[in-house]
């Protein structure tokens, strides 16, 4: 089973490991591998070859809205329903 890369990935685990082992300059490696110099620098700084988790800070704080079916919720929705009806 091969590795699964996201749509914007420009490197594989093997390429990332090569970047981390290489003694060549970032510019030389980027030319050799056909990737951006910033990508080479990013993978040199990391100690692993796995992608970092990409979850926005906002997504970590947002809680899903859960409506429980009880008489107060039902009464509120039923009370609003007639006022939302549009005549055609």
In this prediction the pTM is 0.54
What proportion of the chain, given as a percentage, has pLDDT over 90? 35
Provide CB contacts within 8 A for 66, sequence distance 6+: none
What's the CA gap between 15 and 49, in Å, rounded? Answer: 9
What's the CA gap between 37 and 33, in Å, rounded? Answer: 10
pLDDT digits (tens, 9 = 90+) for 25-42: 999 999 999 999 999 999
pLDDT digits (tens, 9 = 90+) for 33-87: 999 999 999 999 998 888 776 666 666 666 666 656 655 555 555 555 555 555 5
Regarding predicted confidence, which is higher, 73 or 12? 12
What is the mean predicted confidence (pLDDT) over 11-25?
92
What's the CA gap between 19 and 31, in Å, rounded? Answer: 12
In the prediction, which pLDDT does 19 show? 93
């Amino acid at each position: 089973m091969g590795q699964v890369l996201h749509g914007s990935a420009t490197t594989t685990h093997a390429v990332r490991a090569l970047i981390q082992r290489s003694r060549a300059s970032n510019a030389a490696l980027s030319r050799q591998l056909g990737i951006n110099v910033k990508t080479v620098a990013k993978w040199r700084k990391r100690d692993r070859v796995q992608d970092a988790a990409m979850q926005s800070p906002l997504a970590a704080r947002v809680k899903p809205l859960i409506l429980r079916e009880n008489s107060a919720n039902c009464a509120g929705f039923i009370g609003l329903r007639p006022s939302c009806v549009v005549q055609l």
